[in-house]
Chain A
């Protein structure tokens, strides 16, 4: 069949390839520049010499950042917050989605409605803040994990996936003596690795990247995730020149230190992608069939 490709098709493919290569270049360029900067000297960066390849190659910047206690503490926080929040989110979302997937459940429409309602309306910033504060969640991981434990989008994708599983499997399990939880844990979940892996990826990436919740609910710098650290670092370098901003109080954070921090922050979550990717594609596709 390979030879049967028409001329038009070949042209289409090569044009396609060209365009996509262009997209890849555009997407990768900022990453490559940042990596190059992280290995470059500050003078070269300032003079605009650094592009795709490091100039004035050195590892000093990495050494400086590695020695920064605040950075590592915040980095550890990010890992901790991400793991706990993702675990909580997975348990709650899975249970909710599984329940919703049962067509014979009475009041199912209401339960779906409750979830979907929060997609369109939220309590607003201040009431949410007051709620979290009065529940004494401030300065704990729960302030980040609980308010974001269920993403409605993820919930609906999972629900669609569960609805797709043949009912006969569960019936057979029931006849063999499994209860509701047994069915979920021993039949449904092992068959749902794809969607579970996808959801873990979705959740962990969003928790890893998020900063706003921590910014709201954390009062001490040593409790902040690394995203807040990074945001502060970059804002400090770009926001200091407005009217009245005390220049003496805001020395610029060197461009190479910024670059190193960005690289170190993005690296772990980037390296997770390739391993989860095969689940990722099939998981989303499966959910989409009946979405």
Chain B
């Protein structure tokens, strides 16, 4: 889960990293009050979980409290790359002398975290990394040792950062470890004309797997801005809404992704991703069907199950029971393969639901579901 800038700022502050004075609001009127408290002149920053805010007009300087209110009114509700701005952060402007870049990020290939630092921070860091890689230091961190003052010193020296940044590098590592983050980034880390080192903007990505020991963070508020996704999440389903007309149910993330591809290859668009896992019980099948059938864009539904540990006859029983509780309104194409496939198919044949048809191969079933969706 990505944090908002203001949440990242709060975390940095808790771990002793100096940040600008700032407050968050969703109201232009309150923005005026905040600006007054912060001394009048403020930077108004859209709080969205995407990059390129500045270029999209989501970051603006306001000269006084009245201007802050006006600017907040403009920015709130703005759409930035599909993200609606619900809150703005107002921050005291900082007198910047130099901008640096520092981050810790997971290096999947090496299976450890990597410190990335550059003396040339700011908006163009990605371009710097692409055109002059030598200006960006990349140093792997030993997971058992972590970042000590000595390691931080090495990172700062390699990247050409001033010695005052060593303390920030150590504290930033603490943020990464204590909060179970997969990424912490400060860009820019600035030195002010007064010589202070300050984290001006930050990005933190937390590990969803660590929620069981990181109780303070609730669910991601942007995760389910779609009503169907919210309904599916409430039923504990692993569902992602897509822009198509063939509803998809399958077992196992890899097989479901593959199913989306095969349906797309048949000239139709998948309406969703839904992984019902290995068990494929009647309840989860019914829950999944009801969410998919409530999607008005769906014209046909493709159930693609490979019977492994849960054999196909058990899956077929689950489908039959689900059809007792959910009223089927759209054609359902079922492909069962794997253990006890013949018995599973016989169970569905016997049930003989008028809207259910079986195709024995994945490719053939995808073709059928695509036809039904595009001719309906």
Asked if A and B are interacting partners, one says no
